[in-house]
């Protein structure tokens, strides 16, 4: 037996104002669309904003359903909308903001496993890393230069 070590690296911004201007705009849009989320059951709202290489910004918010798990996360709402409407465009950056109606989220909230797998599919397909920025309602923002930091052992079509 042998052990392997996997390291990841993230950049940390103390506030939205520290982000580069284009990412600041993207995060502000993620915050705005988060407030439109439909989350009557979990009371946990998430917004996502994608910047495509064609300059378009695609938004998504989580959409819950009483017939759980029929709802969909914000990240996948935006990614699938992008894939359906701009199939040739590459996703350059994703900004994600999450907030709870019951308490203040003041630490960065990363994407769930299903969203990570969906992002992996697009990052592998487009052969260009996707920058991922994520935050809670307030506080620091984490930046990952690629999905590989969040999902180092990605499952993709080469395993099929």
Domains and CATH numbers, the chain: 11-151 (3.40.140.10)
Q: What is the distance between the alpha carbons of residues 20 and 32, in angstroms, rounded to a whole number? A: 18
**112 marked as binding residue:** yes
- Tell me what pLDDT residue 143 has: 98
Secondary element (H or E) of residue 97: strand 91-100
**67 marked as binding residue:** yes
- Tell me what pLDDT residue 159 has: 84
Q: What is the pTM of this model?
A: 0.94
Listed residue (83, 96, 104, 127) closest to 28, CA to CA:
96
- Tell me what pLDDT residue 10 has: 96
- Tell me what pLDDT residue 154 has: 83
Whether 121 sits among the annotated catalytic residues: the reply is: no
Candidates 18, 28, 75, 123; catalytic one: 75
- Tell me what pLDDT residue 47 has: 98
**62 marked as binding residue:** yes
Q: Which segments of the chain have a pLDDT < 70?
A: none
**64 marked as binding residue:** yes
**127 marked as binding residue:** no
Listed residue (47, 29, 139) closest to 98, CA to CA:
47
């Amino acid at each position: 037996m042998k052990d392997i070590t996997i390291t990841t690296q993230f950049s940390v911004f103390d506030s939205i104002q520290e982000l580069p201007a284009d990412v600041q705009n993207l995060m502000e849009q993620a915050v705005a669309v988060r407030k439109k989320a439909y989350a009557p059951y979990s009371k946990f709202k998430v917004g996502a904003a994608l910047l495509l290489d064609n300059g378009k910004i695609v938004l998504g918010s989580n959409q819950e359903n009483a017939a759980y798990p029929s709802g969909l996360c914000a990240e996948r709402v935006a990614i699938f909308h992008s894939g359906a409407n701009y199939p040739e465009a590459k996703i350059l950056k994703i900004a994600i903001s999450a907030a709870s109606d019951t308490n203040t989220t003041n630490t960065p909230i990363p994407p769930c496993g299903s969203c990570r797998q969906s992002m992996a599919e697009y990052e592998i397909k487009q052969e260009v890393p996707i920058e991922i920025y994520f935050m809670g309602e307030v506080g620091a923002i984490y930046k990952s230069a690629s999905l590989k930091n969040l999902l180092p052992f990605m499952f993709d079509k080469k395993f099929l």
